[in-house]
Copies of this chain bind each other. A is one copy, B any other.
Amino acid sequence: MVAARAKIRLFVEQPLGQGQEIALSQAQTHYLANVMRQREGAEIALFNSRDGEWLARLTRVGRRDALAECVVQSAPQRMPPDLWLLFGPIKKTRTDFIVEKAAELGAARILLVQTDYTNAERIRQDRLQAHATEAAEQCGGTYVPEVAALAPLAKVLDQWPEERALIWGDETLAEGAPSAVPPLPPAPAAILIGPEGGFSPAERARLTALTMIYPVALGPRILRADTAAVAALTLWQAAQGDWR
C-alpha cells in the first residue's frame, strides 16, 4: 500500500519541536546514507510516540552519524486505543509477524506470555521491539507500542488490572456448532492468543474465573496463533477502536 507523506519515516527517542536538532543513530545513518542514498538537505519525517510527526531536514550526513533539524509538524500525535495484545511466543518468523501486525493494527502494548504449553523459545526482546518500531515507521503511525519482556501467564494474571477486559481467543469454541463473534468490550482491553497446543486445563480454569473475561470464537476453522491475533485485533479496532 502507498506510504503517506514523507517516504522516509524514523522513530527517535528525543523530544521533537520547531528548530530541534536530532542526532540519528548509527543504524539510522547507515540506512539513510547507504540504503536510501540521502544527502544533506533531504527531507525525512521523525516521530517519537509523543510529539506527532515532524518534517525534518538533514543537516549532516556523516559516515557514522547524521543530524536532522525539525522544520514543521506534519501530523498530530495519534495515540492508539488502550488495547494490549498478549500471546505465547511461537516460531520465530510467526512471532516476528505478530509483533509487526500488532504495531500496524494499533495495539498500544505487546506482552509475550509464557504458558504451560509454550515451547521454550528464546525471545530477543530488543529484536522484537525493533520490529514494532519498523512497522510503525512503515505504517505512517506516530506511536511505537512497547514490547514487554516474556513473563509467565500466571504472573501476568496475578497482577491483572481489575478494570481491563480480557478477550480470550478460545480455540475450543471453534469446534462443534460455530458461534458468532460476541460484542467486544471497550477499552481498556486486552486480547489473549494461546500458543500452538492451546491452554492447559489449569490455565483454562484460571481464565474462566476472571471477572472481565470475554471468550471469543473466531469462526468455524482452527486459526493459527498469528492469524487469530490479526483477526482479533481487527475485530476489536472495527468495533471499539480507532477504525470506527
Contacts and interface: CB of A to CB of B under 8 A. Distances in A.
Interface in A217-244: 217-225, 227-228, 230-231, 234-235, 237-238, 241-244
Interface string A171-207: 1101100101100000000000010111000000000
A171 to B, nearest CB: 4
A3 interface: yes
Contacts of A181: 238, 243-244
A140 interface: yes
Given A4-B175, A172-B2, A230-B234, A243 B218 contact: yes
Interface in A139-178: 139-141, 169, 171-172, 174-175, 178
A89 interface: no
A43 interface: no
A73 to B, nearest CB: 16
Contact of A178 (B171, B196, B224, B243): B243
Interface of A, secondary structure class, is loop
Given A178-B243, A243-B178, A244-B180, A104 B227 contact: yes
Contacts of A140: 174, 221-222
Contacts of A241: 219
A238 B243 CA distance: 15
A106 interface: yes
A75 B223 CA distance: 18
Contacts of A223: 1, 104-105, 139
A235 to B, nearest CB: 6
21 contacts: A1-B198, A2-B172, A2-B197, A2-B198, A105-B227, A106-B221, A138-B222, A139-B223, A140-B174, A140-B221, A140-B222, A178-B242, A181-B238, A181-B243, A219-B243, A220-B242, A220-B243, A227-B230, A230-B234, A235-B235, A235-B238
